[in-house]
Structure 1
Amino acid sequence: MNKSHDVIIIGGGVNGCSIAYYLAREGKSVLLLEREKLAGKASSAAAGMLGAQVEVTREGALFDIAKESRAMFPSLQYELKEQSGIDIELVQKGMLKLARNEEEARNLRSMIAFQQKLGERAKWLDREQVVEREGQLSQALLGAMDIPMDGHVNPERLTQAFAKSAVNLGAEVKEYVEVYSLIMDGSAVRGVETNNGVFYGENIVVAAGAWSKRLLEECGVSIPAYPVKGECFSVISDRPLLTSTIFTESCYLVPKSGNRLVIGATMIPDTFSENVTVGGLFQLMEEAAGVLPALKSATFEQSWSGIRPQTGDGLPYLGQHPKFKNLIIATGHYRNGILLSPITGKLVSMIIKGVAMPGYMEAFKIDRLIDYARGE
């Protein structure tokens, strides 16, 4: 019989690896199972934006958790570097969310007002101020929301840093091990059946991104969730074109080291196909070149796609299964997986330790699905 672990984590993306790290830090015996290679899906496909204020546009639990997670990155980068030797390439040079028409300008001014009321740093820049800061941008804009605290990391390096740090603290990671089913026993999940045998654990964490839904259906939870494909591409220029990350309603442009720019992303729902379409790339290129005309002279590097897990109400699922209390669900982060990875790992560790949880966790509990399905 295989030995029993304190925790088995299903999914080797950024959130699964973060959970492994925070649990290993607590001295738990951790087994992480990934059906392909670590960071092989949405985690490596992401641009790595830490857009707590640009992606989350209204007050509430998601905004609270996003801000808390973003604040963890400055110390986390040194912590992970010491544990793993991997630099996650944290850059905090701010974001500009552009307004290209009057409606977008009104919406951004409203966002700025509510975020300032909550004590967040955000301000309006007019066209001249935007162009003075980012001289390569098109002048066909009205202004922008300046968000100095948002930034970006290297998503694949972040995932690998979490994983390597967890292993160095005693966790076990198995790649190319696919979980076929959960082993149910009364009101608990005792383990998992895989293509590499059976593994037993005191706690089971499902953090398999868009692939979580199938496993959860086995234990009576049919979550309103669906996959969304995001297509991206990158270019390399002979000189830096941007300093800040640029965000619009139709695309984003993220400056990386080596004069590299990552541009994304399309949103194609209800597909697990990772094919990159000409139509998707053409749309992105057209939108991005309209924002940054100098992009037309850059050299195309590569294109890719990632499958992100979106939920019925737009909030992640983070908490215990309503019946199987030793089954913890951490999925549905959609475009905020990288941003929310530190706080996800911390919160799952707290759940397993049995300590008091923050009040905002009510918004992410699995029980809410019943009310959502009824339309209540």
Structure 2
Amino acid sequence: MSGVDAVVIGGGVIGLLTTLGLAQAGQKVLLLERQQQVGSEASWAGGGIVSPLYPWRYAPAVSALAHWSQDFYPKLAEQLLAATGIDPEVHVTGLHWLDLDDEADALSWAQRNQRPLFAEDIDSVYRAVPPLGPGYQSSLHMPGVANVRNPRLIKSLRAALQGLGNVQLREAAEVTGFVRDGERVVGVKSAAGEWLAERVIVAAGAWSGDLLRSLNIELPVVPVKGQMILFKCADDFLPSMILAKGRYAIPRRDGHILVGSTLEHEGYDKTPTETALASLHASAIELLPALADAEVVGHWAGLRPGSPDGVPFIGPVSAHPGLWLNCGHYRNGLVLAPASCQLLVDLLLGRAPIIAPDPYAPDSRL
């Protein structure tokens, strides 16, 4: 099969937004997802905080993508709601970091980057977040941080693509290799046949490294397992996101509370474990003691695309003309997706990029 401008491999939030951006620019795009439904992997499993957990601990390259995406997310949600009737629920709650060891570094980062992060009196935190557990001594607060309801974001993006005449979406279509003309990549192979295109974009999350190995490309992206639990509480139970000791609680608008997450190097094993459930439950009760009496309505695991320093690979691979990457976002795929995909589309179409592309360029990092 031929006749498309681009094939996008991977139907997570990165692949979906890449496809949407290309299609809105007039490109004919084929999106291939190996699972039965798009967004079934890390994009569904994550928490959806529209910020890195500790933004000051990341490289400036991550911050640049995060800042652009944070500013763009409300507009994206409005556009998707208008186009599809499905609200991704970008929910601005703010985020409290409790008892940090590196508060000074965080405040210095905020000043350098002109981000609204402030030290606050712990008594005011307890007044603002009544269910917070006892014993915390200090807090930093970023009032504008939102969370996005990632399963709804996926549904909305899927519906938006289905409404476009220049997009083909194929699920249960696993890519097994690449079609080449010499070193040029001119398409992809699958059990269902071959698809040809001017450009092939790898946005396959934790599976990107395995796929690229068939081209003798060693991409340092590996699966990193994360487990989450979900509680159901009253709609107004938790007014803000909170984070302490590496664990976080995220309130949804309907009273669901997400608590996560673990970091496990277990290959491609996504089996939820009782050990992780017990650990997450204990962290939840330490953060919010009332959760001891709340029902756990969900427990799952997903695979993050782990990469060095969490900096994604975005751009062309010059050794294989026609091949492009948008992968390796590690813990921040949902946070960085809008900016990452806009940058990829800008580069692919020869437009002025939204931010400097050099830190993400595959050629200098592979």
Q: Which TM-score applies when normalising by structure 1?
A: 0.93
Query: How much has 1:112 moved relative to structure 2?
Result: 1.6
2: distance between equivalents of 1:53 and 1:193?
Answer: 38
**Structure 1 segment 213-232 matched on structure 2, within 5 A:** 213-232=209-228
Residues 181 and 26 of structure 1: is their aligned pair in 2 closer, same or farther, counting only changes over 3 Å?
A: same
Structure 2 match to 1:66:
66
Name which of 185, 190, 201 aligns with 1:194.
190
1:164-185: per-residue Cα shift (whole Å, max 9, x none)?
2123222110000011111111
Query: How much has 1:207 moved relative to structure 2?
Result: 0.3
Structure 1 match to 2:199:
203
Judge conservation of contact 1:4–1:201 (CA < 8 Å) in 2. yes
Between stretches 141-150 and 108-117, larger displacement belongs to: 108-117
1: distance between equivalents of 2:52 and 2:298?
Answer: 27
Judge conservation of contact 1:209–1:331 (CA < 8 Å) in 2. yes
Q: How many residues align?
A: 364
How high is the sequence identity, in percent, across the aligned residues? 28
1:221-256: per-residue Cα shift (whole Å, max 9, x none)?
101221100000101124633111112232110001
**Structure 1 segment 1-376 matched on structure 2, within 5 A:** 2-36=1-35, 37-52=37-52, 54-58=54-58, 60-99=60-99, 104-105=100-101, 107-170=102-165, 171-238=167-234, 240-357=236-353, 360-370=356-366
Residues 26 and 239 of structure 1: is their aligned pair in 2 closer, same or farther, counting only changes over 3 Å?
A: closer
Structure 2 match to 1:373:
none
1:69-98: per-residue Cα shift (whole Å, max 9, x none)?
111111111111122221100111211111
Give the SS at the match of 2:30: strand
Between stretches 172-181 and 80-89, larger displacement belongs to: 80-89
1:97-147: per-residue Cα shift (whole Å, max 9, x none)?
111xxxx24x12321232123211110112211101101111211121101
Counterpart of 2:9, as a letter, is I
Query: How much has 1:206 moved relative to structure 2?
Result: 0.3
1: distance between equivalents of 2:163 and 2:56?
Answer: 34
2: distance between equivalents of 1:32 and 1:73?
Answer: 23
Residues 95 and 281 of structure 1: is their aligned pair in 2 closer, same or farther, counting only changes over 3 Å?
A: same
Query: How much has 1:55 moved relative to structure 2?
Result: 4.0
Residues 150 and 162 of structure 1: is their aligned pair in 2 closer, same or farther, counting only changes over 3 Å?
A: same
1:278-310: per-residue Cα shift (whole Å, max 9, x none)?
111111111221111111011110111110001
1: distance between equivalents of 2:212 and 2:270?
Answer: 23
Is there any run of 5+ residues in structure 1 with no aligned partner, and where?
Answer: 371-376
Q: Which TM-score applies when normalising by structure 2?
A: 0.95
1:38-92: per-residue Cα shift (whole Å, max 9, x none)?
1111111111110147445346111111101111111111111122221100111
RMSD: 1.6
Give the SS at the match of 2:309: coil
Judge conservation of contact 1:18–1:159 (CA < 8 Å) in 2. no
Counterpart of 1:84, as a letter, is T
